[in-house]
Amino acid sequence: MVSLSPRSRRVVLTGHLASREAPTGAERSLALLAAGLARRGHRVTVLAPGPWCLSGELEEAGVQVRVVPTRPCWLTYWGSRPLPVVLWKGVRCAAAMRAVTRLAAALAELQPDVVVVNCLPHLAAAAAARRLGRPWLWYLREILPPGWRRRYFARRLVASGAVLVGVSEAVRAWVVGEQPSALVDVVYNGVPIPAEVPEAPAPRSAACGPWWPGRAPAGSRGRCSAGAGSFWGSAAPSSPRSRRWFRCSPPATWCASPR
């Protein structure tokens, strides 16, 4: 595992998405990590692929945000797609690798001690980090179904030379399942806790799809997606009573766990 000593380090985090309005969970997690490192005295820069709605709050937290246009490789989806769609995604993935030069130039200018690549689709940032020759970490959030894509990405992860970190045991399991020699640490997504947590009002209506008609859910709530590694691995209820009522399988929409 890459460790940061008490002295200040230059850390560069690379994001594969830059939402203009509502950030995804992966973006929010990356922002929390960047702000937390800055609070600990490290010099942190985030390379975003475009204008980002979280830039303002990150800059207030002492994080530098730079825009380096890139595109993710969307061959990391769950489920099957028609062959023409897969081929088109492959073409776009190859075109996205043209951003490696731009990212490598930005990393060479910043000269970081550690590079963090956020999410499996950010292949261009992974290639740029590897080219730099500094310690780098690949933060994995996706789960791939059995098949050629899982085998391909597992081989690529092991050969990358990166420190591999998954957001859940489920993410770790698919990589190690394909490549038993892989070393994957598990670090769950952080959750910011406010200084004062108000007591939630009692729920008045059910809101969890066809499984719980007339039942008022309370507790965890998230989108049911087989490819969302943090949902299956870390966000699912842990108590026996919660697990008894937590029923969710793709392609569901939303569900919640009772207390």
Angle, vertex CA 175, rays to CA 13 and CA 152, nearest 5: 90
Residue 154 located in a structural domain: yes
Domain count, the chain: 2
Is 197 part of any domain? no
| Sign of the C-alpha dihedral computed for residues 32, 35, 36 and 37 taken in this order | positive
Distance, in Å, from the CA atom of 58 to the CA atom of 35, rounded to the nearest integer, reads 6
Q: Is residue 203 assigned to a domain?
A: no
Arithmetic mean of pLDDT over the chain = 78
Which domain, by its residues, includes 121?
Answer: 10-186
4 assigned to some structural domain: no
Helix pair 123-132, 83-96: axis angle to 10 deg: 30
pLDDT at 105: 94
Q: Which residues contact 202 (CB under 8 A, 6 or more apart)?
A: 216
199 membership: H or E segment, kind and range: none
Give the tens place of pLDDT for each residue, 50-62. 999 999 999 999 9
On whether both 68 and 180 belong to a single domain, the answer is yes
What does pTM read for this prediction? 0.72
pLDDT value at position 50?
Answer: 92
* Angle 140-143-145 from CA coordinates, rounded to 5°: 145
Could you give the C-alpha distances from 136 to 105, 129, 144, in angstroms and in order?
16, 7, 22
Report pLDDT for 164: 96
pLDDT in tens, 96-155: 778 899 999 999 999 999 999 999 999 999 999 999 999 999 999 999 999 888 999 999
Q: Is the pLDDT of residue 257 over 60?
A: no
Q: What is the pLDDT of residue 117?
A: 96
Band of residue 209 on the pLDDT scale cut at 50, 70, 90: very low
List 66's β-bridge partners, or say none: 47
Contact 238/232 with Cβ under 8 angstroms? no
pLDDT value for 96: 73
Q: How far is CA 256 from CA 2, 72, 153, 227, in A?
A: 35, 30, 32, 18
How does residue 223 score in pLDDT terms, banded at 50, 70 and 90? very low
Average pLDDT over residues 35-58: 94
